[in-house]
Amino acid sequence: MGSGAARGMSGRHDRIVTGRALDEDARLDASVRPVSFGDYIGQDRVKENLQIAVEAARARGEALDHVLLYGPPGLGKTTLAQILAREMSSSIKISSGPLLEKKGDLTAVLTSLEPRDFFFLDEIHRLQAALEEVLYPAMEDFRIDLIIGQGPGARVHPYQLSHFTLVGATTRAGLIMAPLRSRFGIVHRLDFYTPADLQKIIARSAGILGITIDSEGAAEIARRSRGTPRVANRLLRRARDYAEVRAQGHITVSVARDALAMLGVDEHGLDEVDRNLLLTIIEKYGGGPVGLNTIAASLSEEEDAIEEIYEPYLMQLGLLGRTQRGRVATALAYKHFGLAEPQRQSGLFS
């Protein structure tokens, strides 16, 4: 599982299940999470670069350089951070930008780190500016400045930190301030997975969870998983539920199609929210351009959820475009719904 937000968005990818079912899914997600580079499927270029960095750091007996991982949610940022810590035989502490509210919160974590420990900070783009300033000397000089006393008699006491590794994760790399970004020595983007890699992930997860699935069934789920392992594992579990009730527990390609159809997931991996988003732009706003805040209000969704979760995949499929004046439904979106595309002004995507 990749980086997940620590805020309860209605639009998160695990929105199909709630309550106890969501807790159970979280437990199962943890059980299929890769624990080494050998278990980690996909992202070959990123994985190879990180393996080299780890081996070099271990040979020198040093802490790994600070790492920034960015890309859409669910692609494995958290998993990679935990693998890095294991490969370095180090401990890892995990937090997220929204959870750290005061300088004391961040200081407490940093001062507790042992040499070569890892600190994984999810949603680092949402870290408060005042806390970012604490990170600058911590990352560069392994030092923080503690203020002792109050008022005119207060004095600054430099505190030396252990040499640690900060792994930052974000879905919005463009929102990270340049001074913070420049302090990461290793920066990698995680891309959407290929259906072939997702099929391998599904087969591996099925083996761990004791799910009976044939290769065609795994391929069908992989094709509809939005290029995202987290979604693939969720759809696998829902297909398992369907198979246990209506297909003697075995997931074939036909069982997978029926299960996904019941979930409202079409052949492209689009669900009801994706279709509503596109149809809102097409039917209510003439295909666009229309502002993000207007779309969010029309769908009763958070702007962040639309921008971080839905848009990247819709844009990858070529169904949605961003312009200087707002979002537009593309010709492929009209074709997807069997609708005639209206005439638009030229230069819309300039």
Bridge partners, residue 344, by sequence: none
Determine whether 324 is exposed, middle or buried from the number of CB atoms within 10 Å of its CB (0-12, 13-18, 19+): exposed
Question: CA-CA distance, 69 to 55, in Å (whole number)?
Answer: 19
Q: Which two tokens stand for residue 188?
A: 């990698």
Q: Please indicate whether residue 122 is annotated as part of the active site.
A: yes
Torsion sign (Cα): 339, 345, 346, 348: negative
Beta bridge partners of 169: 69
| Catalytic residue from among 117, 122, 197, 304 | 122
Say whether 212 is catalytic: no
Is 252 catalytic? The answer is: no
CB 41 within 8 A of CB 34: yes
Give me the catalytic one of 171, 228, 280, 330.
Answer: 171
Identify the H or E element spanning 118.
strand 118-122
Q: Which of 78, 79, 170, 228 is catalytic?
A: 78
Is residue 171 annotated as a catalytic residue, yes or no? yes
CB 262 within 8 Å of CB 306: no
Are the beta carbons of 131 and 107 closer than 8 angstroms?
Answer: no
- Given 77, 226, 234, 238, the catalytic residue: 77
> In this structure, are residues 315 and 324 in contact, taking their beta carbons and an 8 Å threshold?
no
Which helix H or strand E contains 212, and what residues bound it?
A: strand 212-213
Contacts of residue 327, Cβ cutoff 8 Å, sequence gap at least 6 = 281, 288, 289, 290, 291, 292, 295, 311, 320, 321
Q: Is 228 a catalytic residue?
A: no
**Rounded-to-integer distance, Cα 245 and Cα 247, Å:** 6
Instruction: Yes or no: say if 78 and 120 are a contact pair by the CB < 8 Å rule.
Output: yes
Report which of 130, 223, 139 is spatially closest to residue 184, judged by C-alpha positions: 139
Q: Are 225 and 235 in contact (CB under 8 A)?
A: yes
Catalytic residue among 224, 226, 230, 240: 230
Catalytic residue numbers read 77-78, 122, 171, 230
